[in-house]
C-alpha cells in the first residue's frame, strides 16, 4: 500500500510540475506571437490527442508521464517547410528578448507555483512542533551559546544588530538557522523560559559547509524539546525488558538529568555500553502502578555498530517522542510575502549548495534522484495536504533552479546563448551549439548517475 501511495504521489507531483513548467513556455510563446505546434504531457506513444480549433496546437497525453515538451514552429527543425505567411510566427524569427522570455518562462512558472503553494500552506494554517530546545549535546554551538534545554526560541537577529525576526515554530527556526549557517554568520537567538527572556549568541562561523545537510540542526545541538519520551515497544529478552521497562512507560530522566529528546537519549545509551545507567520511569496509566515513578537500573548491551565498527550500547527499546505543537497561520498578503521569501531562500540556497558541490566545499551526497523524490512524495502525502503541498513547492523550486543552470541541453544553456547573442550581436554558431550540447548531455548524465547512486546508497544504507 505504501508503495502504491509513493507511486501515485510521485506521478501527481511530476505531472503537475511538468505541466506548469511547459505551460510557462507555451503561454509566453503565444503572447510573443509564436505558433505552438504541439503541447505534450509525457513521452512515447500518444494515449489522447486533440487539436485546438482556435490555435491549431496539438495537445497530447503520452504513455510515459515523466516529462513533457512544447514544440514550436522553427525553421531549424529538420524537414520543416514554412510558408511566407507563417514565417513571422517561427520561434527562430523572434527577437533575442522574446526568445529569452519564452525560454525563461518555464523556470519562472515553477517559481510562481512554489510561491502560490507556500502561500496556501501559510494561509490555511499548519500544526508544527513548537520551537522548544532540548538539552544540547556537549561542545555543540547550542551548548556553547548557553542553552540548557527547555527554552522556547522566539526571535533571531544578526549579532551586528540587524532587524529582529520572530520565530513561530520549529520549522521556522530551522529555516532561519539554515540561512545563517550557510552564511557562517553570528546570530542572537531570543528565547524564554520560566524565568524570563534571554539572548543567546550563536557563533556559526566555524561550521563546515560539508555539515550543512538534513542533520545540520543536530550538529548545531538543536533538537525539539519540551515533550515526553515514551517507550513504544520492548524486545523480548532485551536489557530493557530484564530491567522492567514496558511499552507505554514514560522516560523522565536518565542518571538524574531530564530527558531532552530521543536523539540525546539514544546517544547517551550508545555512549554507556556495559555501564549501568539509571532511568526515572513513569509507568503507563494502567492498574495500581498508574502514574507512579520509580528508578530502574539498566546496563546497555555492548553491540557492534555496522556503520562505524565501534562498540555502542543498546537496550532493545523502541521510543516515541511527543513534542508540544503550535498552530501557525498567516493572513493572505502576509502568506504571499512569506511564500515569495521562502521560495527565494530555497532557490538561492540550492544554487549556492550546487556551486559548493562543484568546488568540493560540499558533499555530492546532497544530490537526490527519482527514488528519493518518490519516497518523500509518499511520506508527505501520508502526512496530509499541507506537507504534500510544501513538498511539491520544494521540488518545483528545484526543477526551476535545475533548468536555469547554464548547461546547454537545459533552459539555462539556451539563455546563455541568447545573452552571448545580445552582447556580440551574432548568434552562437550551429557547430558550437552541437559541441556544447554534447558536453551538456555528458554533464546531465553524470549528475543523474550520481543522484541515482545516492538514492541507492540511502535505500540500502551503503
Report helix angle 370-383 to 2-31, nearest 10: 100
Instruction: Provide the pLDDT for residue 180.
Output: 82
Domains and CATH numbers, the chain: 95-125+330-462 (no CATH), 141-220 (2.30.42.10), 228-321 (2.30.42.10)
Among 6, 22, 151, 282, the active-site one is: 22
Instruction: Report pLDDT digits (tens) over 221-274.
Output: 888 888 788 888 889 989 988 888 888 888 888 888 877 677 778 888 998 989
Phi-psi bin for 304: left (phi > 0), alpha (psi -120 to 50), beta?
A: beta
Instruction: Provide the pLDDT for residue 456.
Output: 65
Asked about 22 being catalytic, the answer comes back as: yes
CA pair distance 180, 189, nearest whole angstrom = 11
Give 381-386 contacts, CB < 8 A, sequence gap 24+: 381/5, 381/6, 381/8, 381/9, 382/2, 382/5, 386/121, 386/124, 386/126
Instruction: Provide the pLDDT for residue 113.
Output: 95
Which residue ranges of the chain lie beneath pLDDT 50? 288, 461-462
Cα–Cα–Cα angle for 101, 92, 422, rounded to 5 degrees: 55
pTM of the predicted structure, to 2 decimals: 0.78
Amino acid at each position: 500500500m505504501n508503495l502504491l501511495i509513493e507511486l501515485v504521489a510521485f506521478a501527481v507531483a511530476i505531472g503537475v510540475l511538468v505541466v506548469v513548467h511547459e505551460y510557462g513556455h507555451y503561454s509566453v510563446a503565444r503572447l510573443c506571437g509564436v505558433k505552438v505546434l504541439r503541447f505534450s504531457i509525457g513521452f512515447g506513444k500518444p494515449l489522447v490527442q486533440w487539436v485546438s480549433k482556435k490555435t491549431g496546437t496539438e495537445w497530447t497525453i503520452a504513455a510515459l508521464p515523466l516529462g513533457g515538451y512544447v514544440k514550436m514552429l522553427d525553421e531549424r527543425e529538420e524537414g520543416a517547410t514554412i510558408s511566407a505567411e507563417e514565417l513571422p510566427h517561427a520561434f527562430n524569427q523572434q527577437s533575442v528578448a522574446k526568445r529569452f522570455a519564452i525560454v525563461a518562462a518555464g523556470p519562472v512558472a515553477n517559481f510562481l507555483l512554489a510561491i502560490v503553494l507556500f502561500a496556501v500552506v501559510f494561509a490555511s494554517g499548519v500544526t508544527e512542533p513548537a520551537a522548544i530546545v532540548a538539552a544540547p549535546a556537549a561542545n555543540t554551538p547550542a551548548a556553547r551559546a548557553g542553552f540548557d534545554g527547555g527554552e522556547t526560541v522566539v526571535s533571531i537577529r544578526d549579532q551586528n544588530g540587524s532587524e529582529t525576526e520572530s520565530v513561530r515554530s520549529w520549522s521556522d527556526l530551522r529555516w532561519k538557522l539554515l540561512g545563517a549557517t550557510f552564511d557562517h554568520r553570528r546570530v542572537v537567538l531570543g528565547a524564554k523560559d520560566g524565568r524570563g527572556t534571554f539572548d543567546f549568541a550563536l557563533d556559526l562561523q566555524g561550521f563546515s559547509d560539508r555539515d550543512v545537510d538534513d542533520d545540520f540542526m543536530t550538529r548545531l545541538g538543536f533538537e525539539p524539546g519540551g515533550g515526553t519520551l515514551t517507550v513504544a515497544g520492548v524486545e523480548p529478552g532485551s536489557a530493557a525488558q530484564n530491567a522492567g521497562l514496558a511499552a507505554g512507560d514514560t522516560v523522565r530522566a536518565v542518571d538524574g538529568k531530564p530527558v531532552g529528546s530521543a536523539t540525546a537519549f539514544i546517544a547517551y545509551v550508545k555512549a554507556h555500553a556495559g555501564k549501568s545507567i539509571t532511568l526515572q520511569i513513569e509507568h503507563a496509566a494502567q492498574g495500581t502502578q498508574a502514574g507512579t515513578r520509580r528508578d530502574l537500573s539498566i546496563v546497555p548491551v555492548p553491540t557492534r555498530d555496522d556503520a562505524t565498527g565501534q562498540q555502542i550500547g543498546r537496550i532493545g527499546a523502541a521510543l516515541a517522542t511527543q513534542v508540544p505543537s503550535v498552530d501557525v497561520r498567516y493572513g493572505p498578503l502576509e502568506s504571499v510575502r512569506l511564500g515569495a521569501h521562502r521560495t527565494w531562500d530555497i532557490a538561492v540556497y540550492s544554487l549556492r549548495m550546487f556551486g559548493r558541490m562543484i568546488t568540493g566545499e560540499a558533499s555530492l551526497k546532497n544530490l537526490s534522484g527519482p527514488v528519493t523524490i518518490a519516497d518523500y512524495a509518499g511520506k508527505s502525502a501520508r502526512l496530509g495536504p499541507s506537507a504534500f503541498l510544501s513538498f511539491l513547492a520544494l521540488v518545483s523550486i528545484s526543477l526551476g533552479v535545475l533548468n536555469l543552470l547554464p548547461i546547454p541541453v537545459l533552459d539555462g544553456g539556451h539563455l546563455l546563448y541568447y545573452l552571448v547573442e545580445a552582447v556580440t550581436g551574432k548568434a552562437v554558431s550551429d557547430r558550437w551549439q552541437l559541441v556544447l550540447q554534447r558536453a551538456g548531455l555528458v554533464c546531465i548524465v553524470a549528475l543523474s548517475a550520481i543522484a541515482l547512486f545516492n538514492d541507492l546508497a540511502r535505500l540500502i544504507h551503503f
